């Protein structure tokens, strides 16, 4: 599990419930978050460093538990590490959104995401492949990741103000489905669902990604049956704070993470650029 911070733990929680026998390694690049305002080149460079570090554990599957990395760097990672089975969060989330839209002739789907995810147009492509006649509204929500990483709970007045700023303009457009296009935003899913009301389906990545990983492992005949799994966490900054926030914000009790300083990560080799034609 690769992410920039706390958001990936919402997927860790869902996958551990679905696959309690599996050993899970979680890597959070807490020293360099947020990723959402960075350039694609920077995001890809960070992701390649982390993938090189993770490969030492010989994982049977790698989940990019981050919408920003999934939208910007997934193809690059698959190209550089063909020996690794790698998936992201965009496709499972898009499938869930299309299913939630149901039989509506022209559903109105809204996406809250980071600036980098929106710029990538990854959700637009994923949704268009499944539902060409849907109308999309895209809204960046750059304040939410820092607020979550600060440890502010959904009841905090500042959180409520930020959510209203981002969500109310979408509600005014009478949306049918709201996609939380950042795994961090899942921390506030209940508050967002309450704000938009029962007529709007709120989609996050956690359960669909757990289902997707289960399907992939079963198909590859790598699904572990029996035994008790364990979570091992790595962070690039302040393990103690990460552990405290994991319980406070995600409701997940974890062991003290291992600190991996940025300068201890493998250097990413220069990318090979092939000219068109």
Q: What gap in Å lies between CA 114 and CA 21, rounded to an integer? A: 33
- Of 15, 54, 63, 66, the active-site residue reads 66
**Is 209 tagged catalytic?**
no
**Is 66 tagged catalytic?**
yes
Q: What gap in Å lies between CA 186 and CA 63, rounded to an integer? A: 17
Which three-class secondary structure string do you get for 213-241? HHHHHHHCCCCCCCCCCEEEEEECCCHHH
Q: What gap in Å lies between CA 30 and CA 21, rounded to an integer? A: 27
Query: If you ran DSSP here, which 8-state letter would residue 64 be given?
Result: B
- Of 182, 195, 201, 235, the active-site residue reads 182
- Distance between the two ends of the chain, CA-based, in angstroms? 36
48: its two tokens: 């390649």
Q: What gap in Å lies between CA 138 and CA 262, rounded to an integer? A: 33
Contacts of 199 (CB under 8 A, 6+ apart): none
From residue 54, alpha-carbon distances to 84, 163, 166 in Å are: 10, 34, 35
Nearest to 135 by CA among 165, 101, 169: 101
Catalytic residue positions? 66, 182
């Amino acid at each position: 599990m690769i992410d920039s911070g706390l958001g990936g733990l919402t997927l860790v929680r869902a996958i551990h419930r679905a696959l309690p026998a599996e050993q899970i390694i979680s890597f959070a690049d807490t020293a360099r978050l947020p990723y959402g305002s960075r350039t694609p080149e920077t995001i890809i460079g960070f992701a390649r460093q982390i993938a090189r570090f993770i490969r030492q554990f010989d994982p049977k599957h790698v989940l990019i538990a981050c919408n920003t990395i999934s939208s910007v760097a997934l193809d690059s990672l698959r190209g550089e590490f063909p020996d690794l089975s790698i998936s992201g969060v965009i496709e499972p989330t898009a499938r869930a959104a299309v299913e939630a839209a149901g039989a509506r002739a022209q559903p109105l789907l809204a996406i809250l995401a980071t600036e980098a995810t929106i710029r990538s147009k990854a959700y637009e492509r994923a949704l268009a492949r499944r539902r060409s006649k849907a109308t999309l509204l895209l809204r960046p929500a750059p304040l939410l990741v820092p607020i979550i990483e600060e440890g502010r709970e959904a009841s905090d007045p500042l959180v409520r103000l930020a959510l209203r700023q981002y969500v109310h303009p979408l509600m005014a457009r009478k949306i049918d489905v709201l996609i939380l296009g950042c795994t961090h935003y899942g921390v506030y899913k209940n508050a967002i669902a309450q704000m938009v009301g029962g007529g709007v389906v709120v989609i996050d990545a956690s359960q669909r990604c757990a289902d997707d990983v289960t399907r992939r492992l079963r198909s590859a005949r790598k699904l572990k049956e029996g035994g008790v799994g364990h979570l091992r966490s790595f962070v690039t900054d302040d393990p103690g704070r990460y552990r405290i926030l994991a319980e406070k914000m995600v409701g997940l009790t974890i062991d003290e993470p291992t600190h991996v300083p940025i300068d201890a990560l493998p250097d990413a080799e220069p990318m090979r650029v092939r000219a068109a034609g």
